[in-house]
Structure 1
Amino acid sequence: MQAWFCDNPIGVDALQWREAPTPQPQAGQVLLAVKAASLNFPDLLIVENKYQFKPPLPFVPGSEFAGVVEAVGEGVTAFKPGDRVAALAGNGGFGSHAIVPADKLFPLPDAMSYEHGAAFAFTYGTSIHALLDRGRLKAGETVLVLGAAGGVGTAAVQIAKAAGARVIAAASSDEKCALCKEIGADETINYSSANLREALKALTGGKGPDVVYDPVGGDLAEPVFRSIAWRGRYLVIGFAGGGIPALPWNLALLKGADLVGVFWGDFVRREPAGFQRDMRQLGQWYAEGKVKPLVHQTLPMSDLHKAYAMMSGRQVIGKLVLTP
């Protein structure tokens, strides 16, 4: 097999493409031939030693991928060689083959391509868990999605619309805002040029959004929290903007608002039945055409450094997918 190995998590430049013996699956494991892998923000953090999960060295990054089962280990009965599957393994995707625990796999629907399979579960799983479970979103409520043109952002826009909400998509350029309109957003805000608080006030009649979906953090958090509706729910997804905000706690008191943490990875581990429920709902919406991964570009696996540079430079609308 061949893969991108991280021997020292000091950044993307330390990743090396090299050959290694193809491993054989042990009990409870599956050997997967990787057909497509997507790049997610945690894949950047993990090679910089900044992510919550720190795998033993050396490791192959790539948390989300899809492919074909080549072999199964002892005790694996849910999958067999030849099955098309998607994987949420935490790492291992940026290579030609990967060893994956069988409980980290799920069947790929016949109608779903490997590229869509590799770009689906992480962002859509995060967003449905955030909005419906943690955010208690109801039909008719207003959702503000920050970073709405990114991977989780585009998923959140589509899921909120599928759930019957009114969606305000906020992004950093007119081009990104136009894309958000195309995928279903009711209104958009370019927060690079507009006053975010004034725009939210105008678009909500002074009420503010009921639910805020925030994968950005940084300087946007406080003005948005000041704009949230009474009994609003502010969903903390991540900090792609680079900074972890420090909010005055009196803001939550004055608005009767909830500040809600969303840690999807641990949700999948701790509440597997809830994860399976969410994936069934997403599969139904996918079949109905209500959700569809937005693939910004498909690159060869050899261009991983370029893909990382595009992500860190905020040049990606939707998801980047890599293929062998």
Structure 2
Amino acid sequence: MTSATEIVLPGVVEPEGLEIRHRPVPAPGPGQALVRVEATGVSFAEQQMRRGRYYDQPAYPFVPGYDLVGTVAGTGPGVDPALAGRRVAALTKVGGWTTHAVLDAADLVPVPDGVRAADAETVVVNGITAWQMLHRHARVRAGQTVLVLGANGGVGSTLVQLARLAGARVIGTASSRHHDALRAAGVIPVDYRGDVTAQVRAVAPDGVDAVFDHVGGAGIVASWKLLRRGGALVSYGTASTRDDTGNRQLPVLKLLGRLYLWNLLPNGRRASFYNVWGGRALNRKRFQARLGADLTAVLEAMAAGRLAAQVAAELPLTRAAEALRLAESGTVAGKIVLTP
């Protein structure tokens, strides 16, 4: 274990502009653990980051990678040495596209035995996001009807499964090529290229109980109008502005303002913006406890066979450019996994 390999995003570049770098394997400090990465993934965040469009991305150059799964290879002072050899998952925001990562031991979540690293990887950031939006924000109950935009995507494909496990009826938007797979998963498919509102109203004339919207932009208004009284809109991205130019914070700030104003209306509906990092700055221990509990619930559902991994493709870490290009093509369902 003499060197680590990592993928570097040097600036605003095309996927082929990613750089492969080698450096000494880092040593864990106090409270930290060294994780030998077995799987990391391509999220929508990396698509925004390479364009300089992610809300709070670090300065270039940096190593992308929103999450990872791996085995603890060493521990620093103050960390239980018994953690070594355990397979764990972690949310990183950046730094996951590497063979070796040093992380705070308190941020590591155990992965159940019998779950493949690549399968577990598909439900780290995607699983936490889906679980918390469904249960902590929308508080979906059995018998309700929900609408999931991008139901074939990384978050969407996990969200529809968790919603079905919760006893909800699920309507999901996707291109027609993915409709058979959605039907097989018990989802009522809607073609996002058509009149989504009309298609949803044909299934749920009175509206839906929850909408999960990663698109943002002007289309968020249609999502809000599809709610029945007592319904919840959970917005968690601004995918529609991925290729825009200008201030990268502005789309999010405009969206937050719109959601805030909607919550002032006396119509029995509510709107929220989901940020997986919400509350971390205010109370890190509470954030870690909640994240650990929620990710554990998702991973245990996978270990029990109730939640299927949606792996769109597995590629070596050194083919990250190809993986990112594939993710941006919009032709795959699920999450693309990089395997160092």
Say yes or no: TM over 0.5. yes
Contact 1:210 1:232 in 2 (8 A): yes
Structure 2: unaligned runs, 5 residues or longer: 243-250
- Does the residue aligned with 1:229 lie in a helix, a strand or coil? strand
- Does the residue aligned with 1:211 lie in a helix, a strand or coil? strand
Aligned equivalents of 1:70, 1:293: Cα separation in 2: 25
The alpha-carbon deviation at position 273 of structure 1 amounts to 2.6
Contact 2:123 2:298 in 1 (8 A): no
Contact 2:67 2:121 in 1 (8 A): yes
Aligned equivalents of 1:301, 1:10: Cα separation in 2: 18
What's the counterpart of residue 131 of structure 2? Answer: 128
The alpha-carbon deviation at position 320 of structure 1 amounts to 0.2
When structure 1 is superposed on structure 2, of 56-65 and 290-299 the one drifting more is 56-65
The alpha-carbon deviation at position 254 of structure 1 amounts to 6.8
Q: Identity over the aligned pairs, expressed in percent?
A: 30
Structure 1: unaligned runs, 5 residues or longer: none
- Does the residue aligned with 2:240 lie in a helix, a strand or coil? coil
Amino acid in the other structure paired with 1:183? A
The alpha-carbon deviation at position 251 of structure 1 amounts to 9.7
What's the counterpart of residue 317 of structure 1? Answer: 333
The alpha-carbon deviation at position 100 of structure 1 amounts to 1.4
CA deviations over 1:126-145 (Å, ceiling 9, x no partner): 01100110111111110000
The alpha-carbon deviation at position 81 of structure 1 amounts to 2.6
Looking at both structures, which has the greater relative contact order when contacts are Cα pairs under 8 Å and sequence separation is at least 6? 2
The alpha-carbon deviation at position 4 of structure 1 amounts to 0.8
Using the size of structure 2 for normalisation, the TM-score is 0.86
The alpha-carbon deviation at position 214 of structure 1 amounts to 0.8
The alpha-carbon deviation at position 271 of structure 1 amounts to 2.6
Q: Does 1:67 align with 2:70?
A: yes
Q: Map 1:31-42; keep pairs closer than 5 Å.
A: 31-42=34-45
What's the counterpart of residue 191 of structure 1? Answer: 192
Aligned equivalents of 2:278, 2:103: Cα separation in 1: 18
Q: Does 1:264 align with 2:263?
A: no
Q: 1:88 to 1:161 in 2, by over 3 A?
A: same
RMSD (Å) for aligned C-alpha atoms: 2.3
Moved over 6 A (4+): none
Using the size of structure 1 for normalisation, the TM-score is 0.90
Q: Map 1:73-112; keep pairs closer than 5 Å.
A: 73-77=76-80, 80-112=83-115
Amino acid in the other structure paired with 1:227? L
Aligned equivalents of 1:250, 1:69: Cα separation in 2: 46
Q: Does 1:236 align with 2:199?
A: no
Q: 1:226 to 1:66 in 2, by over 3 A?
A: same
Alignment partner of 2:179 out of 177, 187, 196: 177
What's the counterpart of residue 274 of structure 1? Answer: 290
Aligned equivalents of 1:200, 1:252: Cα separation in 2: 26
